[in-house]
Amino acid sequence: MRNVRAFQSLVLLSALVVLCTGAMDVALGTAPLPGDDAVPVNVDSNYRFFAAVWLTLGVALVIVAARVREPESTPLLRLVCAAVLLGGVARVWSIVVAGVPDPMLLALLGVELVLPPVLLLWHRALTRGAAPTPSPDGRSAA
């Protein structure tokens, strides 16, 4: 049970960070980014759009935390982790084609590449052997 609570705490902490940064980026655009002054209107629009998508991933993490022991939470967690990991890969590609960003963004890159696999492996360990949830007609959903 302690492992479940620790996992839920990490997922909720992650959700809080994602929700706060997503809301901040929707509201303020690129202004909080280090070293960036004005950006073209198209970049601002695109940035705020993806900030809203990021915010939505935070909502999904809250749902995962609330249903951590239910096997049905696995696809949602996988989707969120895949999105974050793919975002990290996109940052790596940006380094290749555009150069190295501010150290703060490099730190985020580290989190984006490490945290998703950790969460997925931990969640798998927590849900391994969980009984399948019966469907409304009484049959096993598995």
* Domain edges within the chain: 2-127
pTM value is 0.85
The beta-strand segments (E) located in 74-131 are none
Chain segment 91-125, per-residue pLDDT in tens: 999 999 999 999 999 999 999 999 999 999 999 99
Rounded to the nearest integer, the mean pLDDT of the chain is 91
Q: For residues 90 and 12, give the distance between their C-alpha atoms in angstroms, rounded to a whole number.
A: 25
More confident residue, 132 or 86: 86
Q: For residues 123 and 117, give the distance between their C-alpha atoms in angstroms, rounded to a whole number.
A: 10
Per-residue confidence at 70, pLDDT binned at 50, 70, 90?
confident
Per-residue confidence at 141, pLDDT binned at 50, 70, 90?
low
> Does residue 133 have a pLDDT over 70?
no
Chain segment 3-27, per-residue pLDDT in tens: 999 999 999 999 999 999 999 999 9
* DSSP letter, residue 37: -
Per-residue confidence at 142, pLDDT binned at 50, 70, 90?
very low
Mean pLDDT on 33-55: 92
Mean pLDDT on 40-57: 97
Q: Which residues contact 36 (CB under 8 A, 6 or more apart)?
A: 30
Q: For residues 42 and 14, give the distance between their C-alpha atoms in angstroms, rounded to a whole number.
A: 29
Q: For residues 26 and 19, give the distance between their C-alpha atoms in angstroms, rounded to a whole number.
A: 11
